[in-house]
Structure 1
Amino acid sequence: MLELLTDPAIWAAFLTLTAMEIILGIDNIVFLSLLTAPLEKETGRRARQIGLALALIMRIALLFAITWIIGLTAPLFTVFDFSITWRDVILIAGGLFLIGKGTLEMHTEIEGTEEEKRPSGAANAAFTLIILQIIVIDAVFSVDSILTAVGMADDIEVMVAAVIVAIAVMYVASEPIAHFIEEHPTTKMLALAFLLLIGVALVADGLGFHIPRGYIYFAMAFSAIVEGVNLAARRRRRAKA
């Protein structure tokens, strides 16, 4: 253990892996914020806390089941000379889930009734259903995250430490992001568009068409900057009025 703390290569791997886990966790934060939006403030915070705690437990458990994770990349069956693995199945299912969820949320925001749009007792009663959806999507993002960790570090202690730090950062960031999305409805539509983009990327990965994440995160960052400029201009107009 002492060797791990004094080896510069170990620290470099830890910092790099932590940064990658935080970047991959952006998708998770956006999804949690959108999924818990219909809930009351305190209930939504509790749901996000439970979701992130489950994500941490799931990722650490998967790290210790590392042999099984690596086996997920072994061919399951072949279709037209294309080998399908369990990882592909999970990514495709998760991507379709995100696309469907994002589409339904967009429909509710644009054409839904006022009762559908505002938090209600029915929404709070769906707390368990939301937690189940969080578990499903945590599983999808965890597989991708752990496969990345396995490819970037050799010591499981380093992987576990990086995952814990990344989840801690996600926990701190989830509350302000959820509050910001709630306060600015246009950013919710933008976040839903991000959700569709992430879903398409997951399906593409599952089908063997890897989209470099740099392109996706650049598109998300550029859109966020444009929306930030729009919000600043709107605030300035209101101040003048």
Structure 2
Amino acid sequence: MAPTNSVVSAIRVLEAVGERQPVGLSEVARAVDLPKSTVLRTLRTLAEVGWCGLGEDARWRLTYRAFAVGNQARDAGGLRERALPVLHELQLATGETVHLAAPDGRELVLVERLDTAHRLRAFLPLGHRIPLHASATGQAYLAACTDEEVERYLAGPLEPSTGHTVTDPGRLRECLAQVRARGWSVNPEGLSDGIAAVGAAVLGPDGRPVGSLSVSGPTVRMTEDVFDGHGAAAADAARRISRELGAGLRT
């Protein structure tokens, strides 16, 4: 195996462990489509350098070294640091869970979550990958992209997360047009059953989206009656964060 391929394989194995941990050797090998012998060598190397470990249950897990390095990437662009004060205000104003996500390919990655005090709440773990078409954060992000970028996304697979996920390209175009006109997205149960959310895009200095935020909660509280109020609050928070990042300052 060439050195470059070895690095690629190691990263794929590391990601597979992170997504499935605790996980056995066979499951990792199936996930990355590599021979078990190759995966085992890779896992042992990762263990030697402290990135993962083998538990007494013969299952692999990431170590806190992986967490420490990943946490540094969590705010590499300064988005989270600039956003946090505004997100706290948004959470207090709405009383629901607030999420902040940043783009990674065809998905967003959850980089911050501020929980509601309600026992019944929306919950996604930090680092969770969120499909753009299936989520309030994703639809808000897509709506802030160019038409060409939207069409490239629509040309790819639009897998359902729930029975309410928008998977038809034509209908998704209509949803994005509504987001652009309204200023925020509305996504009832598109990502998780029983959870509704509103979202808004955060822009960088060049006016392009660098992330998005959402207000999420169970459908017993997140009803049509609160969509406009929570949506407007989310859009205002996103504008404030965008200004903090320098959006609109370039001439």
TM-score (norm 2): 0.24
More helix by share: 1
TM-score (norm 1): 0.24
Return the structure number with greater relative CO, CA threshold 8 A, min gap 6: 1
